[in-house]
Amino acid sequence: MNRYSTFGTALHRLAILCYVVFALFPLFWLLKVSVTPNDLLYSEGVRMWPSRMSFEHFRFVLAHSAFPVFFRNSMIVAGATAVIVTLLASLSGYALSRFTFRGKYWLVALMLLTQMFPLVMLVAPIFKMLSPLGLTNSLTGLVVVYTAFNIPFATFLMQSFFDGIPKELEEAAKIDGATQFMAFRQIVLPLTLPGIAATLGFVFTAAWSELLFALMLISGNSAATFPVGLLTFVSKFSVDFGQMMAAGVLALIPACLFFLFIQRYLVQGLTAGAVKG
Amino acid sequence: MVFDATAGLPESYRQSLVDRITRHAEPYLYTAPALILIVTIMLAPLVLGLSYAFRDVHLLNPFSGGYVGLDHFRTLYDDDNFYRALRNTLWWTGASVLLQFVFGLVLALLLDRPFAGRAIAQALVFLPWAVPTFLTGLNWAWLFNPVIGPLPHWLHALGFMNEPANILSNPQLAMWGPIVANVWWGIPFFAITLLAALQAIPRDLYEAAAIDGAGAIRRFTSITLPFLAPTIAITVLLRTVWISNFADLIIVMTSGGPADRTQIVASYIFTQAFRALDFGYASAIALVLLILLLAYSMLIVMLRQVLMDRG
């Protein structure tokens, strides 16, 4: 029995190790190529680490390319989307959690529907709608579109966090003369801070990663987000692997920071409204 | 000033009326911004897009926009690329979901057991999920590239390939590129969801079963699986819809090529809108895809009903 369980434990650790290696290897390779100097890139093809490291690609990308602009644009779009969505979703999530009202069923059904149909369907009509408003090729247009796309999921997520907070707290406050909104703002919201952080993280990551609508709505460098910029760069200078991967490492940073920040809420928080990746 | 008791009555009555109105309006005020955005940015374009399916809408042609009836659907009926995209969608979705689910379930079971360093291991294996999908696609395209990626050389060394070549340019194998990238990216989602369901299973059930002499396999089949079944069913079914529409990786890694061997319906729609700028035809394909997905969703609802009736 004892030998069996030692063997089982070893197997268990080995399996975990395999998963960790599989998860990290592609990112490791990205980092490896980004710090490999050009003259070693082809001669040391499959070596695990270059014999000489250099940050020339990062220097070039930061100083002589449009990537800092892409980075800034993506930060603005993802940041603004995350803040607006979290604000609006905490309002609507609170309504779904605390009130019963006429039309609630249809509201929930509508939000679920938006999670089911293929967003790629909307690429053409949204372009046609936003173009006369001057919202194509603009960061504002992207923020508006991403905000709408992320609100349903964020609402369900926030609702699940509000559901976990006892109603008695607000009732006590209302007996003391507070309105429902005051109780929401001063008592419930502070208690939901971890949930708010998680929602911010999810929405930020989603907006940071979005590709198809950014490709369709943005042309030209000045309003390009990181995915658009990187893809344009790839199709134009497809041989500069070191620089592309250095740019890739930069694109990874904010998403990973947010992830490390939220990952401990993942298992508890995600299951509640988890429909979407 | 002195108020008499009767003068206070209508005042408080009015107060309570205003109160009642605000109380009734309150949930609508909370939900209004979200609802307005969803209706204008998602529902309105959806309806507009449905109308495009029956119109000739070309972005660069200012004279387009007239109704063409069912012309797009007639073209679609004879469009071999569409049927190939449909077959590719099945293959892409089936392989991705199956592999993500199997690897995700194993990972969840591994992580359900306490061990030293579990928190850090969990953070590391879930990390791919935070990687932006465009970067996931590019990253795997680079790994498959024989110039800078190790995979072709390893596959060659292991005897799977005659020479280190890029599978993304091989029509027979190209689909495996996006599928592998998708599996890498999607395992954490399944693992997270299933892990949460696993942790909701009461521990004393296992202890009781162990006392009764049930082995590990028996405990898995008679306790774990039945408890997980609803989560598995819902996650797999919803994920199937999501992945069948998930075109990012394919657009980044192969743009549907080589020879349309990796084109799925969603990427075909995007290519028609983005490259050909043929919004009308793109919307017609989208409408067909929507109908197929609706049929699939009905199937889910019916299946769920059956499951719930049984449980």
Residues 6+ apart with CB under 8 A from A99: B26, B27, B30
CB pairs below 8 Å between A and B: how many? 261
Higher pLDDT, A273 or B275: B275
CB B133 within 8 A of CB A226: no
Please check whether residue A112 lies inside any domain of the structure.
yes
* Side chain identity at residue B242, one-letter code: W
Query: Six-digit token pair at A259?
Result: 């992830």
Residue A60 lies in a domain: no
Amino acid B299: pLDDT: 84
Average pLDDT over residues B238-254: 91
Same domain as A213, residue A120: yes
- Write down which residue in A54, A77, A97 finishes a domain: A54
Query: What is the maximum span of chain A, computed from C-alpha positions, in angstroms?
Result: 76
Phi, psi angles (nearest 5°) of residue A176: -80, 5
What lies within 8 Å, CB to CB, of B205 at 6+ separation is: B223
For A199-232, letters b (16+ CB in 10 Å) and e give: bbbbbbbbbbbbbbbbbbbbeeeebbbbbbbbbb
Q: Is residue A108 located within the same domain as residue A50?
A: no
Whether residue A192 lies inside any domain: the answer is: yes
Distance from C-alpha of A205 to C-alpha of A29, rounded to nearest angstrom = 22
In one-letter notation, the amino acid at residue B257 is: G
Residue contact A23–B147, C-beta within 8 A = no
**Joined tokens for residue A258:** 């947010």
Say whether both A48 and A72 belong to one domain: no
Residues A129 and A228 grouped into a single domain = yes
Q: Which of B38, B49, B245 sits opposite A124 (nearest CB)?
A: B49
Residues 236-275 of A with CB under 8 A from B: 241, 244-245, 248, 251-252, 255-256, 258-260, 263-264, 266-268, 270-271, 274-275
Residue B220 has pLDDT above 70, yes or no: yes
Domain boundary among A32, A54, A76: A54
* A29 and A129 housed in the same domain: no
Q: Which residue has the higher pLDDT, B303 or B241?
A: B241
Same domain, residue pair A30 and A156: no
Q: At residue B32, does pLDDT exceed 60?
A: yes
- The pLDDT of residue A167 is 87
Range of the domain at A99: 65-273
A27 and A76 in a common domain: no
* Beta carbons within 8 Å of B187's beta carbon, 6+ residues apart: A19, A23, B100, B103, B104, B107, B125, B128
pLDDT band at B1 (very low <50, low <70, confident <90, very high): very low
What pLDDT score was predicted for residue B95? 97
CB contact, 8 Å: A27 with chain B?
A: yes
* Residue A258 · residue B186 · CB < 8 Å: no
Query: For position A209, which CATH number holds?
Result: 1.10.3720.10
For residues A145 and A44, state if they share a domain.
Answer: no
Average pLDDT over residues B26-41: 93
Question: Is residue A24 domain-shared with residue A120, that is, in the same domain?
Answer: no
Is residue B305's pLDDT more than 70? yes
Q: Shortest Cα distance from A29 to chain B (angstroms)?
A: 8
Give the lowest-confidence range in A170-184, B2-16, B228-242.
B2-16
- Residue A277: predicted pLDDT: 38
Q: Domain for residue A12, yes or no? A: yes
Predicted local distance difference test score (pLDDT) of residue A268? 55
**What is the total residue count of chain A?**
277
Contact A117, B3 (CB under 8 A): no
Q: Which of B24, B45, B126 sits opposite A129 (nearest CB)?
A: B45
A16 shares a domain with A97: no
**Amino acid in position B311:** G
d(CA A114, CA A126): 15
Question: B133: Cβ–Cβ under 8 A, 6 or more apart, which residues?
Answer: A209, A211, B185, B248, B249, B252
Q: Is B286 on the interface with A (CB under 8 A)?
A: yes
Per-residue model confidence (pLDDT) at position A266: 62
Number of domains forming the structure of chain A: 2
Give pLDDT tens digits for B133-180. Answer: 999 999 999 999 888 888 988 988 888 888 888 889 889 899 999 999
Distance of CA A175 to the CA centre of its chain: 40
Which pLDDT belongs to residue A45?
Answer: 66
B-chain residues near A119 (CB < 8 A) = 245
Asked if A259's CB is within 8 angstroms of B127's CB, the reply is yes
* Mean pLDDT score, B209-215: 87
Give, in degrees to the nearest 5, the angle at Cα A211 between A137 and B65: 55
B271/B256 Cα distance (integer angstroms): 9
Q: Give me the mean pLDDT over the B204-221 stretch.
A: 87
Whether residue A100 sits in one domain with residue A6: no
Q: Which chain A residue shows the shortest CA-CA distance from B106?
A: A15
Q: A199 and A258: one domain?
A: yes
Is residue A201 in a domain? yes
| Tens digit of pLDDT at every position of chain A (277 positions) | 455 678 888 999 999 999 999 999 999 999 998 998 888 877 776 778 888 888 888 998 888 888 899 999 999 999 999 999 999 999 999 999 988 888 899 999 899 888 877 888 898 899 989 999 999 899 999 999 999 999 999 999 899 889 888 888 888 888 888 888 888 988 888 888 888 988 888 899 889 989 999 999 998 888 899 999 888 887 776 668 888 889 999 988 888 887 777 776 665 554 444 433 3
CATH of range B71-310; options 1.10.1740.10, 3.40.50.1370, 1.10.3720.10, 1.20.1560.10: 1.10.3720.10
Q: Which of residues 72-101 of B touch A (CB under 8 A)?
A: none
DSSP state of B168: G
CB-based contacts of B32: which residues, under 8 Å, 6+ apart? none
CB B103 within 8 A of CB B183: yes
CA–CA gap between residue B25 and residue A57 (Å, rounded): 57
Q: Are B127 and A147 inside 8 Å of each other by CB?
A: no
Residue B96: list chain A partners with CB under 8 A: none
Instruction: Write down the pLDDT at residue A143.
Output: 96
Q: Residue B167, class by beta-carbon neighbours within 10 Å (0-12 exposed, 13-18 middle, 19+ buried)?
A: buried
Give me the torsion for CA of A66, A71, A73, A79, rounded to 10°: 180
Q: What is the DSSP secondary-structure string of chain A?
A: -HHHHHHHHHHHHHHHHHHHHHHHHHHHHHHHHHTS-HHHHTTTTT-SS-SS---HHHHHHHHHSSHHHHHHHHHHHHHHHHHHHHHHHHHHHHHHHH---TTHHHHHHHHHHHHHS-GGGGHHHHHHHHTTTT-TTSHHHHHHHHHHHHHHHHHHHHHHHHHTS-THHHHHHHHTT--HHHHIIIIIHHHTHHHHHHHHHHHHHHHHH--HHHHHH--SSTT--HHHHHHHHHHHSTT-HHHHHHHHHHHHHHHHHHHHHHHHHHHHHHHHH----
Which of B160, B155, B144, B164 has its CA nearest to residue B253?
B144
